[in-house]
Amino acid sequence: MAAHWLFKSEPSVWSWTDQVAKGDQGEEWDGVRNYQARNFMRAMAVGDLGFFYHSQDQKAVVGIVEVCALAHPDSSTDDPRWDCVDIRAKTALSRPVTLAQIKANPELVDMALVKSPRLSVQPVTPEEWAEVLRMAEA
DNA sequence: GCCAACGTTGGC
DNA sequence: GCCAACGTTGGC
């Protein structure tokens, strides 16, 4: 059973559009300097799916990505502590799901996105995954 | 642009 | 090993 995740990015630094432009080859999710986030990446398997979240101005889940390489040393640093996975864009959400909508949904009050807004890589439960997808289609 | 929250660093 | 200081992040 594949696990689900959420990847957060500032669109001015790395946006969904940038991710899509990388195509099936995908791109390293580098630059993470937080142990919790790193540990989640180490726990990922190829084929796991994740939400792609835009912080800052948009504050919304905008797309779905797939893990396409297991955790490996982060090429953006020589510090051996930091690993990252590669992800590739899979599909855009037909309608982005905003942080405001998520906060307003009683089913999602326990989401890491709400409880730990600064964590850049987060786990998503199967229930949360299904609920956000449902909101994207509603 | 401000402020609160939180993680990390460094001194003791 | 603890704790204070600091820097960064992200929402509003």
Closest CA to A27 of A89, A79, A102, A104: A89
- pTM of the prediction? 0.94
- Structurally, how many domains does chain A consist of? 1
State the CATH number of the domain containing residue A29: 3.10.590.10
Give the nucleotide at minimum CA-to-C1' distance from A8. C10
Q: What's the CA A35/C1' B1 distance, rounded, in angstroms?
A: 30
Q: Can you list the residues of chain A whose pLDDT is less than 50?
A: none
Token look-up 């490996």 returns A72
What is the residue range of A35's domain?
A: 4-137
Protein contacts on strand C: list nucleotides below 7 Å from a Cβ: 8-12
Identify the CA nearest to A24 among candidates A54, A61, A63, A69: A69
- Spatial strand order of the sheet with A121-124 comes to A27-28, A83-98, A60-73, A49-54, A4-9, A121-124
- List pLDDT tens digits, range A100-117: 999 999 999 999 999 999
What per-residue confidence (pLDDT) applies to A1? 63
A35 touches strand B (CB under 7 A): yes
**Among residues A71, A127, A135, A63, which one has the least CA distance to residue A92?**
A63
